[in-house]
Structure 1
Amino acid sequence: MRIAIKKFKSGERYVFLLDDDGLPDFWVTHFVTQKLRTRKAATSIEQYLKSIKHLKTWESINGRDLLDEIYAGTVPNTHDINALKEHCAYQTKVFKQRPKADVVDMAAFYLSKTQDKPTVTKSQYVSRVAHIAEYLHFCGEERVKNKPAAAQLVDALAAMKKRLKSDMPRGRLKRQPQSLDKSGIADEVFEDFVAVAKINSKDNPFSNPVIKLRNYLIVQTLYETGFRRSELIALRISDIGTETDQPTLSVICRHNSKEDPRLDEPTAKTLSRTLPISKELRDLLNYYVRSCRSQTKSARTHPFVFVSHKDKIGSHESGQPIVKQTVNDVFNRIRKVNSERFWGITPHVYRHFFNDQLSSCIDEINATVKLEAMRLETEGKREEAKLYANDNIITEQRELEIRAELNGHSSLESGRIYLKRTLKKQTSEFRTKMYAKLKHKVEGGIYGR
């Protein structure tokens, strides 16, 4: 089985689960159409289908068809549910290219101590089980709704769904290799990465001048705005602000765009928003659009800013909108210039850098307000000082509101994750000050010579 995406004339991306014959699975397609299509983006639906595909793998291994069994009047029991949930804990690659004869005895498989059975993270496990529970519950009800015992089967299906979603783990299912913490990357590293990406940098790893310009604009835009990768490659020419003295870039939610030829449509994950940018960035973006993008073959067929160019000096061919992997490739090439220094730099990490700069600006504003309040208080203007501080101090609530506005968050709590890098930086500064105050320092003696 495989997952495929088709683009309709309306612009809608429809995600299918195809069987081994290349035909859409009927009940999965029915579930997508009736339950998901009107309220989920194509990327979210794809995650559902990956979970359902994992369920189909379990059915294939065990020679089962749960929907047929439900139609016959048998709802998965506690043993089935436990076995299915354990199956959901394992990564998909565990079951790939494995002869059926070797895995029919699932009890032996799960009890094996020597077999490599990597597990998924807690969040993926919980999502996978929830997706499967929704699918079985919805399709099960659809299949039994006209049967004489429909009422009892519907109750049993509700109980099955509840049991599937119960007892979700609070910690990780199994110790996973921890990803390296990138929250302590120094500001200078981010700055140096942009410096390498500049068009005239001697360390720039790209040779084609047009590609150099485009790639520099990709890095500089992320550096100035903290956009997500999908927001960057979804930018349209009309999203570049036309105000002469107040240059801006806008992120606009446009799902199921007819103009976008990409099946994996990049869409804004958060709310629409408009951010100020430097005049220099605005002017260079406009230059790229007028002088480079316009020379590509496909420039007139779509409105997207960043396009592909053939890696040949003087060539402006191709012109299709770039994809997410293109941005990854740009960062990978630049990172290799100094892999030891740039190891942690990714497109998304610049979103954290952007929010860290925001924290620094807020700290500076609050420090200035406090100094002015202190000055007023020393002059005996205590009430005036209090009012000034109350009116101008950026409280935590206000900071979260500002952060939500700039990041496009619908929930204020979403901004708290970006405070981690600031906390890491402050912790390091505090530790340096603490060490400076220590009475006893390390004495090298003969060992320090």
Structure 2
Amino acid sequence: MLKNTLKAANSGLFFYWLKKSVYFFRLGVYIINLQVFMLIFGLGMKIEIKKFMSGERYVFLLDDDGMPDFWVTHFVTMKLRKHITTSSIQQYLKSIKHLKLWESINGRDLLEEIYNGVIPTLDDINALKEHCSYRASVFKNQTKTNVTDMGKFHLSKSKDKPTVTKSQYISRIAHITEYLHFCGIERVKKKPSAVQLSDALNLMKTQLKSDMPKDRLKSKQMALDKSGIPDDVFEDFVAVAKPNSEHNPFRNPVIRFRNYLIVQILYETGFRRSELAALRIGDIGTDTDNPTLSIVRRHNSKEDPRLDEPTAKTLGRTVPISKELRDLLNIYVKTHRFHTKAAKKHPFIFVSHKAKSGSHESGQPLVKQTINDIFNRIRKVNFERFWGITPHSFRHYFNHQLSKCIDQEKKAVEEEVKRLEAEGKPQAAKLYADENKITEQRELEIRAEKNGHSDLNSGRPYLKRTVIEQANKMRRKMHENLKHKAEVGVYGY
């Protein structure tokens, strides 16, 4: 009986280990297939921001093992980090990640091929350009059953292929071109054939940039255009954001007050979202009669605990604000912000407040996404009317109001010149016009000062809103003068 019991036990043990072996074998196959899937789709690659002890935020592209990609890191270190912001570097890495997705699908390593003397052909470049026109979701949404055959992957002409915007496509090509050219030159510079390979890489760069819109400012201007939003829509949005508004979607009175200040600052100043999130208590002007808010460039701040540090994209500047807004900001800082837990550890004006227990730590500096969330909540109050309102659209509103003020000033100067000429004072009229006339150059200088632009041409996209408004007025006058107008109630309709 004992012998039979041991035999049964051994038999059970044998089948137990056999079952486990099959399980681990299947798990191993699953892991291998998962790794192949991640390799092909680039799912293991991710972009991360690390904060160094110096305060510098460094953006890495991590591979499937969580290790930084060597050449991408070299490119960021040598080419990008000294000249552009962390958020801009993130956009570069998103484009490079899309390039590596193309390499995975096609079983290619372009930098390794360049090192071996093989420069991407025109067919490669055209295929890469086509790839850059599609959203990443086109590739990620393929069925997992075909994962082992993805080396043969191609886009079916009959399938719907969501594409990116023109501006995103242009940026992708520009980023990838800069990355491949810089790293390609780095890889071949010590080879005997370095001169010939450099010439070939220069040709590759030209071919990648061919057929791109030459006027990138015009493309950017089209992307920035928010001219379809009437002024009264912005006014109504601010009215909903007021703490005492019956339509305000927020319940907590402190959060209502904070959110109203955020909207009001954008309404009065035209600040960017990141500039607003980076405001410190010391940026509130202390002059009683001339209240101001200052934008100060403080990149890689040690005091800022946020990994995605909001920073000023343009030049620093001091902007006048209303006395009422200044007083409300001081009330918020001294009353509501003062009583938050973590606010004493940093100098930033706007902080989180607990909407409910355990939702987030009270007093932490507000992140940029929270500002977006605030606008999304208010927009839903009347989405049909507020659908186009974003934090950045208030920058367009601000510049449109600036255009109106400039037009009024131009008209006042013209009237004064006419008055002086009518009084028989042509020399005084000419002198007054020379000193006060607002030319296009002068207008761009004023706009650059108000917006913090280092390049005067950066202000041109904001002129489009006024131009379209004037064009629409002329079109309405043309309609009034038409002999034949559309008739309602005739022809059976």
Q: 1:104 aligns with which of 142, 148, 151?
A: 151
Residues 183-204 of structure 1: CA deviation (Å, up to 9, x unaligned): 1322222111111111111221
Cα contact 1:251–1:268 (8 A) shared by 2 = yes
Gap change, CA 1:385 and 1:146, over 3 Å in 2: closer
The separation in 2 between residues aligned to 1:74 and 1:445, in whole angstroms, is 71
Cα contact 1:3–1:16 (8 A) shared by 2 = yes
Residues 24-68 of structure 1: CA deviation (Å, up to 9, x unaligned): 112222222222222222222212211221121111111122222
Cα contact 1:295–1:316 (8 A) shared by 2 = no
Residues 206-217 of structure 1: pairs in structure 2 closer than 5 A: 206-217=250-261
**Structure 1 residue identity aligned to 2:152:** D
User: Is residue 356 of structure 1 aligned with residue 415 of structure 2?
Assistant: no
Residues 6-35 of structure 1: CA deviation (Å, up to 9, x unaligned): 111111111111111111112222222222
Give the 3-state SS of the residue equivalent to 2:61 in structure 1: strand
Q: 1:377 aligns with which of 396, 416, 421?
A: 421
User: Is residue 85 of structure 1 aligned with residue 132 of structure 2?
Assistant: no
Residues 65-84 of structure 1: pairs in structure 2 closer than 5 A: 65-84=109-128
The separation in 1 between residues aligned to 2:62 and 2:489, in whole angstroms, is 73
Partner residue in 1 for 2:170: 126
Partner residue in 1 for 2:67: 23
Gap change, CA 1:260 and 1:446, over 3 Å in 2: same
The separation in 2 between residues aligned to 1:389 and 1:142, in whole angstroms, is 57
Q: Tell me the percent identity.
A: 71
Gap change, CA 1:210 and 1:316, over 3 Å in 2: farther
Q: How many pairs align?
A: 440
Residues 302-317 of structure 1: pairs in structure 2 closer than 5 A: 302-312=346-356
**Structure 1 residue identity aligned to 2:379:** R
Deviation at 1:179, TM superposition (A): 8.3
Q: 2:243 aligns with which of 196, 199, 202?
A: 199
Partner residue in 2 for 1:62: 106
Residues 396-407 of structure 1: pairs in structure 2 closer than 5 A: 396-407=440-451
**Structure 2 residue identity aligned to 1:280:** E
Cα contact 1:61–1:100 (8 A) shared by 2 = no
**Structure 2 residue identity aligned to 1:48:** Y
Partner residue in 1 for 2:262: 218
Cα contact 2:225–2:461 (8 A) shared by 1 = no
Residues 46-445 of structure 1: pairs in structure 2 closer than 5 A: 46-98=90-142, 99-101=146-148, 103-106=150-153, 109-110=154-155, 112-168=156-212, 182-312=226-356, 318-435=362-479
Deviation at 1:447, TM superposition (A): 9.6
Gap change, CA 1:435 and 1:288, over 3 Å in 2: same
Give the 3-state SS of the residue equivalent to 1:270 in structure 2: coil
**Structure 2 residue identity aligned to 1:266:** P
Gap change, CA 1:441 and 1:114, over 3 Å in 2: closer
Give the 3-state SS of the residue equivalent to 2:60 in structure 1: strand
Deviation at 1:5, TM superposition (A): 0.9
Cα contact 2:225–2:465 (8 A) shared by 1 = no
Give the 3-state SS of the residue equivalent to 1:262 in structure 2: coil
Cα contact 1:122–1:171 (8 A) shared by 2 = no
Deviation at 1:426, TM superposition (A): 2.4
Deviation at 1:246, TM superposition (A): 0.3
Partner residue in 1 for 2:89: 45
Query: Structure 2 stretches of 5 or more lacking a match?
Result: 1-44, 217-221
Partner residue in 2 for 1:175: none
The separation in 2 between residues aligned to 1:364 and 1:158, in whole angstroms, is 51
The separation in 2 between residues aligned to 1:299 and 1:192, in whole angstroms, is 32
The separation in 1 between residues aligned to 2:203 and 2:470, in whole angstroms, is 50
Gap change, CA 1:443 and 1:351, over 3 Å in 2: same
Moved more, 327-336 or 213-222: 327-336
Partner residue in 2 for 1:5: 49
Moved more, 60-69 or 155-164: 155-164
The separation in 2 between residues aligned to 1:370 and 1:171, in whole angstroms, is 34
Deviation at 1:252, TM superposition (A): 1.1
Cα contact 1:331–1:347 (8 A) shared by 2 = yes
Deviation at 1:182, TM superposition (A): 3.5
Residues 297-322 of structure 1: CA deviation (Å, up to 9, x unaligned): 11111111111111149x99611111
Deviation at 1:135, TM superposition (A): 2.3
The separation in 1 between residues aligned to 2:438 and 2:177, in whole angstroms, is 45
Gap change, CA 1:64 and 1:234, over 3 Å in 2: same
Partner residue in 1 for 2:8: none
Give the 3-state SS of the residue equivalent to 1:22 in structure 2: coil
Cα contact 1:13–1:42 (8 A) shared by 2 = yes
TM-score (norm 2): 0.82
**Structure 2 residue identity aligned to 1:345:** I
